[in-house]
């Protein structure tokens, strides 16, 4: 797991290179950054290895390897028994890495000739931010050997910056990747430390200060952040002393037929617990009795189709809408969704069947979203995402290419939809649809059409239980109803959803999530400095 209370900004490899360049331009030599990075690695290693223990450092051809040379030198000076393996010939090293290698006063062994078996700790300094292609040949063999060592010997592996083979920007494995027991990165984390499978390869990630100041962030302006309350806390709709329920909005949740009413109740309960002043379930008449028997604080209205929905929505006080859970996939849900997207300023959260009903026709959905005025949040899991965006055909592309963006931008977005990176997929979908896209999973990404994105790594695996997504959709609506801006509302809902599940613990079922929110909200409000009677 990634340790918390780390700075939220996440820098891609190229943003990190820019931070590096700006720091060097401000007068800090690159070699000083490498010395600091190597010193941080050595300090961490000195805690992971036994006193005077045997440490093997695997160095690659670039600056990641340079960090390894520095760490090796400092650990040797502290009386560890250090062996260093280099993937390439020493003549291949350049710049700061070559300088770090010159300062190393021990032997350099070819990696394939190294004996790993006796090591108490291995430092992986093969590849970091400069990984440019899939690992093969000797690089792949080195990673395979290292993984076999840690699997068989159960000894720790400390990765420098990222586990070698993990793409820091996407979190994807490039051919093969090191399984680390701890990862130490510098200045700020990268998306790949949070996204899967990268996060699993990192195990625990820590961040070391190496002398890059946060002032560079004003220039780099990273677009991606870790989903933490400090990012959206300032916009959280804390109940006001002079508030009343009508000032806290009215969320509307559409229900499925008599056989599918539970999803709407889960979403409605999520909206209510997230603080919406009023919540109504709009239900087919045949299911009214089922809801009425099960609900108390939540109200009901009858809605048997798009016309009735349009009539209900004439009430502008209903300022947030959830549509999709339990509705069924097909023409009826499609018609309801299009009716819900009629121009109005309310927030619309489209989930589950509302998304699947537009299978292969993201184009029509996006047209309706763009005409709908108010904010729209799409909350697909991977399967729903693939159904909606996965198989856009060349014809669809041509239709898209006639839309408002220039062809090059659209083509880029279409490529983004097929990217292996979950972050890029969500970003591309948000830009294409003109909606906030919340792509669910253990590494939920929330992407705004303007390019901002949030990655969540706080949700426990027991959230993967039937109906938990319905609760999440309702919670987003509950926060939007209270006028929280939708991108922040979606992000906050993901966090609260995860925090509720953490608070409840294993064995959680979807019904438990809303009920664990009071404790989570109390702690959150306390962290904002609020006191309670
Ligand atoms: N950011 C900062 O502020 C600071 C960063 N620091 C450190 O610098 C690291 C980044 O260094 P970096 O840019 O030199 O890249 P790095 O990961 O060492 O690899 C590049 C080399 O690998 C090669 N290569 C690439 N892919 C390959 C493949 N599949 N198979 C085989 N070879 C492959 C590539 O060769 P080429 O592509 O040119 O053929 C090139 O030779 C960063 O992770 C951090 O540890 C610190 O020192 C302090 C400040
Ligand atoms: N392995 C996991 N770890 C953490 N959260 C998960 C994991 N798998 C799924 N989730 C979360 O659980 C929820 C499931 O939502 P969804 O797939 O829509 O389920 P349902 O349709 O049953 O409501 C989402 O919030 C998702 O992010
Ligand atoms: K590494």
The per-residue pLDDT for range 423-477, each reduced to its tens digit, is 999 999 999 899 999 999 999 999 999 999 999 999 999 999 999 999 999 999 9
For 22-34, b where at least 16 C-beta lie within 10 A, e where not — what string?
bbeeeebebbebb
Domain ranges of the chain: 9-222, 247-526
Number of the ligand 2 atom closest to the C-alpha atom of 263:
23
| Topology given in CATH for the domain delimited by 9-222 | Rossmann fold (3.40.50)
Query: Tell me, what's the pLDDT at 394?
Result: 67
Separation between Cα atoms, residue 179 and residue 480, nearest integer Å:
40
Note the pLDDT tens digit of each residue in 266-303.
999 999 999 999 999 999 999 999 999 999 999 999 99
Query: Tell me, what's the pLDDT at 5?
Result: 78
Distance 464 CA to ligand 2 centre (A): 4
Judge whether 426 and 171 are in contact, CB under 8 Å.
no
Extended strands (E) in 255-375: 278-283, 299-302, 318-323, 347-351
Query: Tell me, what's the pLDDT at 406?
Result: 78
Is the CB of 470 inside a 6 Å radius of any atom of ligand 2? yes
Query: Tell me, what's the pLDDT at 401?
Result: 66
Does domain 247-526 fall under CATH 3.40.1190.20? My reply is yes
From the list 124, 101, 122, the residue with the least C-alpha distance to 31 is: 101
The interface predicted TM-score (ipTM) is 0.97
Query: Tell me, what's the pLDDT at 244?
Result: 80
Is the CB of 512 inside a 6 Å radius of any atom of ligand 2? no
Separation between Cα atoms, residue 142 and residue 119, nearest integer Å:
15
Distance 208 CA to ligand 3 centre (A): 15
Residues of the chain with pLDDT under 50: 1-4
Query: Tell me, what's the pLDDT at 250?
Result: 98
Separation between Cα atoms, residue 163 and residue 45, nearest integer Å:
15
Return the SS3 of 152. Answer: helix
Cα dihedral angle (293, 297, 302, 308), rounded to 10 degrees? -160
**Are both 9-222 and 247-526 of the same fold?**
no
285: its two tokens: 């008449």
Query: Tell me, what's the pLDDT at 269?
Result: 98
Distance 181 CA to ligand 1 centre (A): 21
Distance 89 CA to ligand 3 centre (A): 18
Residue to substitute in 469, 474, 509, 513 for testing ligand 2 pocket (most ligand atoms within 8 angstroms of CB):
469
Query: Tell me, what's the pLDDT at 490?
Result: 98
Is the CB of 100 inside a 6 Å radius of any atom of ligand 1? no
Binding-site residue positions: 63-67, 124, 128-134, 161, 164, 263, 326, 381, 440-444, 469-470
Which letter does DSSP use for residue 396 in this model?
Answer: H
């Amino acid at each position: 797991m990634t340790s918390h209370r780390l700075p939220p900004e996440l820098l891609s490899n190229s943003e990190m290179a820019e931070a590096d360049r700006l720091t060097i331009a401000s007068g800090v030599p690159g070699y000083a950054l490498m010395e600091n990075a190597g010193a941080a690695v050595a300090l961490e290693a000195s805690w992971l290895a036994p006193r005077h223990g045997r440490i093997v450092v695997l160095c690659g051809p670039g600056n990641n390897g340079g960090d390894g040379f520095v760490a090796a030198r400092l650990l040797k000076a502290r009386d560890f028994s250090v062996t260093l393996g280099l993937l390439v010939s020493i003549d291949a090293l350049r710049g700061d890495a070559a300088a770090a290698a010159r300062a190393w006063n021990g032997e350099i062994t070819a990696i394939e000739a190294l004996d790993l078996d006796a090591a108490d700790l291995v430092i992986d300094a093969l590849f970091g931010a400069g990984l440019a292609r899939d690992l093969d040949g000797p690089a792949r063999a080195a990673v395979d050997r290292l993984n076999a060592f840690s699997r068989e010997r159960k000894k720790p592996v400390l990765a420098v910056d990222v586990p070698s083979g993990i793409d820091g920007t996407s979190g994807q494995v490039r051919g093969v990747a090191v399984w680390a027991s701890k990862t130490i990165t510098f200045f700020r984390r990268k998306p790949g430390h949070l996204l899967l499978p990268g996060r699993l390869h990192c195990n625990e990630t820590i961040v070391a200060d190496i002398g890059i100041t946060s002032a560079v962030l004003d220039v780099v302006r990273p677009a991606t952040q870790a989903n933490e309350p400090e990012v959206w806390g300032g916009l959280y709709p804390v109940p006001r002393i002079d508030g009343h329920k009508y000032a806290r909005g009215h969320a509307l949740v559409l229900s499925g037929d008599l056989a599918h009413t539970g999803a709407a109740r889960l979403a409605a309960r999520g909206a209510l617990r997230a603080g919406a002043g009023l919540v109504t379930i709009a239900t087919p008449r045949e299911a009214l009795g089922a809801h009425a028997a099960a609900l108390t604080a939540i109200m009901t209205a009858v809605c048997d189709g798009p016309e009735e929905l349009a009539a209900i929505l004439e009430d502008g006080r209903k300022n947030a809408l959830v549509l999709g859970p339990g509705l069924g996939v097909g023409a009826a849900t499609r018609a309801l969704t299009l009716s819900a997207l009629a121009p109005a300023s309310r927030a619309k959260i489209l989930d589950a069947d509302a998304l699947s009903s537009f299978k292969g026709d993201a184009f029509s959905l996006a047209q309706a979203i763009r005409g709908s005025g108010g904010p729209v949040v799409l909350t697909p899991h991977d399967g729903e995402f693939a159904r909606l965006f996965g198989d856009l055909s060349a014809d669809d592309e041509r239709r898209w290419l006639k839309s408002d963006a220039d062809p090059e931008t659209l083509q880029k977005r279409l490529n983004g939809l097929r990217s292996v990176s979950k972050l890029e997929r969500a970003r591309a979908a948000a830009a294409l649809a003109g909606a906030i896209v919340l792509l669910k999973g253990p590494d939920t990404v929330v992407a705004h059409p303007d390019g901002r994105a949030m990655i969540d790594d706080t949700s426990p695996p027991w959230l993967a239980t039937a109906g938990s997504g319905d609760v999440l959709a309702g919670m987003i609506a509950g926060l939007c109803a209270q006028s929280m801006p939708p991108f922040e509302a979606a992000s906050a809902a993901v966090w609260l959803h995860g925090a509720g599940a953490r608070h409840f613990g294993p064995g959680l079922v979807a019904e438990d999530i809303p009920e664990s929110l009071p404790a989570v909200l109390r702690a959150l409000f306390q962290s904002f400095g609020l006191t309670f009677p």
